[in-house]
Structure 1
C-alpha cells in the first residue's frame, strides 16, 4: 500500500513522518525506538519485499541511483559492494543526474560488475513520463496484487503428500517418511546384505495380509523418490 495507494491517511502519515516525505527513502530508513511497532515492522520487511517491487524508471528524476530497484541487478549499492565512494557517484544521487543529453556520465569500469552495469545502461533511455512502481514475481511484472502469488513466493516450495481420509493413517505416515527420506529402514536392511525393493518396505503388511489398501500407487511413490 505504501507504493501504490497514496490516498490513504496512514500512508501519507508514514511518508511524511517516518520516511521524510519520499517513498524512495523507504529503502534507506532504519528502524528507531521512537517509531511505533508497526512502523518498525514495515521497515524491517524491506529486504523481503525489495525483489517484489520494481521501479519503472521513465524520467529518473526522483529514482535513487543506488537504492531503488530499477535495474535487473537489484540494489546497485549491494551489487557493486557499496562502492559509491570509489565510483564518484554520490550516495544520494538520482538516476537522471547521471545522464546528460542521452549520454550516461559514468566513470570507467574497473570490475566485472561495473562492466555489466554499463552494458545495461546502453539499453536505458529516459523519457518524459513519471515513474511508477510495479509488482514483479519471478520476473513477471504486474499492476495487480495477488495475495496467493505473494504468499507462494514468500513460502517457497514445499513437498506435497497425498493425504486421504479413506486410507490408513499409519500407511500415510510411512509414505510421508519415505518421501522425506527420513525412513532408514531400507538402509538398515541393505546393511544386512538383503536386496529389498522399496515396494516391499512400504506395502509389506498390505501385500502379506491384504488388510486395508496401499496409501499410494507404487508408480507414484517411485516418481516421488
Structure 2
C-alpha cells in the first residue's frame, strides 16, 4: 500500500466523508472539505500520471478513470464520448465490464474506432472473477516498476527533471562553501544579477556607469573583475598566492576549481573567489541604496575576517593533519 496503517485509516475516512460515491478524479476541489483537502485536490492533475492501479478483484478500480491497463486513463484515450459509444457508464468499475469469463465488449461486431480501440487495449480477464484480493494503487514516478511506497525525491525529479550539467558546478557547489556566497556566485554565473546593463535593456532610465569606478558601463564582466575597484580586491589575494587567474568571469569561474592540486589551497581559492564576488556586489548595492562608500582596503579586511572565521572550525576538524598543514596554517602562510 502507499500508506502506513494510520494513513490508511485517514484515507478510509476521506473516502467515506469527502469522496462518498463520487469519483475522485471528477471532484470539484472548491466545493467541500478543509483547506488542505482542497489544496490536495488541486494537485490531482500532477499526481494522476504517476498513479497505477494493480487490479485484483476489479471492484474498486474505475474502468474509465484509473490507470489499470498501464496506458493511462481510458477516458483520456477515447474522449468524453467513450462511455456512451461503448455502453459502459462513466462510474463503472473494472468488474462491471466483465460478462461471464470475458469482457462484455469482446462479442461486439461494431467497427466503431472507439470500440476497436478499447478491444485492443483490454488485457486478459484471467481469474479476476474469482479473485478475492483488493485492487492496489501503486506509485510510478520513473522508468522503474510501480512501487507500493511513495518517494518524495523520485517524484520531485519526475516533476522537475534535472537540466544538463554545467562545467562550472564544482566551482560553486563545493563542500564547505559559505551558502550565501555560493548562491550569489551561482546567480552571477547565470548572468542574472540586476546589473545596470540589464536594467537598461528592460527599459529603465538609469545611468549606465559603474558605481564603483564611474569609468565604464556596468555589466557582469566589468564588475568581475575588470573594474579597478573589484580588481584591486581580487588581485590582492591572487597575487599573494602567486596565481594569475583569467580575466573574464566565466573563465575565472572554471579556473578556480583547477588552479592548484593542493587541497587546502584549492578550497581557500574557491572561498576567496566567492567571498570577493559577494562583497563586491554588496558594496555596489550599498552605494546605490545608501550614502555609504567603502574603499577596497575595507573590503579586503572583511574578506580576511570571513576567511579566518570560516577556516578555523574546518581546521579544527582536520584531526589527522600534521603540524603546519591545516587549512588555517595554509592561510597564515600567505596572509600572516
TM-score if structure 1 supplies the norm length? 0.67
Q: Determine if the alignment matches structure 1 residue 136 to structure 2 residue 140.
A: yes
- 1:171 deviates by 9.9
Q: Out of 56-65 and 102-111, give the one that drifted further.
A: 102-111
Q: Determine if the alignment matches structure 1 residue 145 to structure 2 residue 150.
A: yes
- 1:153 deviates by 0.6
- 1:74 deviates by 1.1
Q: Which has the higher helix share?
A: 2
Report what 1:212 is aligned to. 245
| 61 and 171 in structure 1: CA distance in 2 versus 1, 3 angstrom threshold | closer
- 1:45 deviates by 1.1
Contact 2:69–2:123 at 8 Å: present in 1 too? no
The 5 Å alignment of 1:61-76 reads 61-76=59-74
Q: Out of 119-128 and 60-69, give the one that drifted further.
A: 119-128
Give the gaps of 5 or more residues in structure 2.
Answer: 175-181, 192-225, 227-242, 256-336
- 1:176 deviates by 4.3
Report what 1:110 is aligned to. 112
TM-score if structure 2 supplies the norm length? 0.47
Report what 2:88 is aligned to. 89
The 5 Å alignment of 1:196-207 reads none
Report what 1:18 is aligned to. 18
Please give the per-residue CA displacement for 1:60-94, whole angstroms capped at 9, x wherever unaligned. Answer: 12221111121222111121011211221111112
Aligned CA RMSD, in angstroms, stands at 3.8
- The count of aligned residue pairs is 188
Contact 1:31–1:44 at 8 Å: present in 2 too? yes
Please give the per-residue CA displacement for 1:143-195, whole angstroms capped at 9, x wherever unaligned. Answer: 222211011011123243333159xx999878646xxxxxxxxxxxxxxxxxx
Contact 1:55–1:69 at 8 Å: present in 2 too? yes
- 1:35 deviates by 2.3
The runs of 4+ residues in structure 1 deviating greater than 6 Å are 169-175
Report what 1:100 is aligned to. 99
Between 1 and 2, higher relative CO (CA 8 Å, sep ≥ 6) is seen in 1
Report what 2:120 is aligned to. 119
- 1:33 deviates by 4.1
SS of 2:14 mapped into structure 1: helix
Provide the rounded CA distance (Å) in 1 between the counterparts of 2:28 and 2:67: 18
- 1:109 deviates by 4.8
| 85 and 211 in structure 1: CA distance in 2 versus 1, 3 angstrom threshold | same
Q: Determine if the alignment matches structure 1 residue 39 to structure 2 residue 37.
A: yes
Provide the rounded CA distance (Å) in 2 between the counterparts of 1:125 and 1:18: 34
Provide the rounded CA distance (Å) in 1 between the counterparts of 2:13 and 2:84: 33
Contact 1:54–1:133 at 8 Å: present in 2 too? yes
Report what 2:160 is aligned to. 155
Report what 1:60 is aligned to. 58
